[in-house]
């Protein structure tokens, strides 16, 4: 099960996730990300503090959204409060270098 809490601010969006991002919940994750980018908003903070598991399907949606946001220098995706287990998954997949990491949401928002 995946819980998605979306908060919209003037220049960025914060998505706080809780649960597992796996093949069953990845479409729900993708829909949330697509809704933001399709609305023309490209600065996204993903708070992963309560994420227990991240599958390759979830990684694919992270990378696709990052590419969409970065296209034409429109924006970026940053990760905040990432648990060590999820950081390890990102490292093993070789995608950790693609995303800025921040310890708090305040720090991540300040990066925009």
- pLDDT value at position 13? 97
Q: State the CATH number of the domain containing residue 8.
A: 3.30.750.24
Residue-wise pLDDT for 44-82, tens only, equals 999 999 999 999 999 999 999 999 999 888 999 999 999
Task: Please name the residue that has the structure tokens 């390890």.
Answer: 88
Q: Are 91 and 58 in contact (CB under 8 A)?
A: no
Number of domains the chain contains: 1
Print the domain residue range for 50.
2-110
Which of 32, 36, 30 is closest to 75 using CA atoms? 36
Q: pLDDT above 70 covers what percent of the chain?
A: 100
Indicate whether 112 pLDDT > 90.
no
What does the pLDDT look like over 7-57, one tens digit per residue? 999 999 999 999 999 999 999 999 999 999 999 999 999 999 999 999 999
Residue pair 90/96 in contact (Cβ under 8 Å)? The answer is: yes
What pLDDT sits at residue 73?
85
| pTM given for the model | 0.93
Helix or strand (DSSP H, E) at 48: strand 43-54
């Amino acid at each position: 099960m995946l819980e998605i809490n979306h908060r919209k601010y003037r220049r960025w969006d914060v998505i706080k996730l809780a649960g597992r991002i796996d093949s069953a919940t990845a479409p729900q994750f993708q829909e949330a990300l697509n809704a933001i980018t399709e609305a023309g908003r490209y600065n996204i903070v993903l708070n992963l503090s309560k994420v227990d598991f991240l599958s390759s399907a979830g990684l694919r949606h992270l990378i696709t959204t990052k590419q969409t946001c970065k296209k034409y220098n429109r924006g970026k995706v940053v990760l905040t409060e990432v648990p060590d287990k999820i950081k390890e998954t990102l490292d093993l997949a070789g995608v950790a270098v693609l995303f800025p990491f921040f310890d708090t949401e305040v720090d991540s928002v300040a990066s925009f």
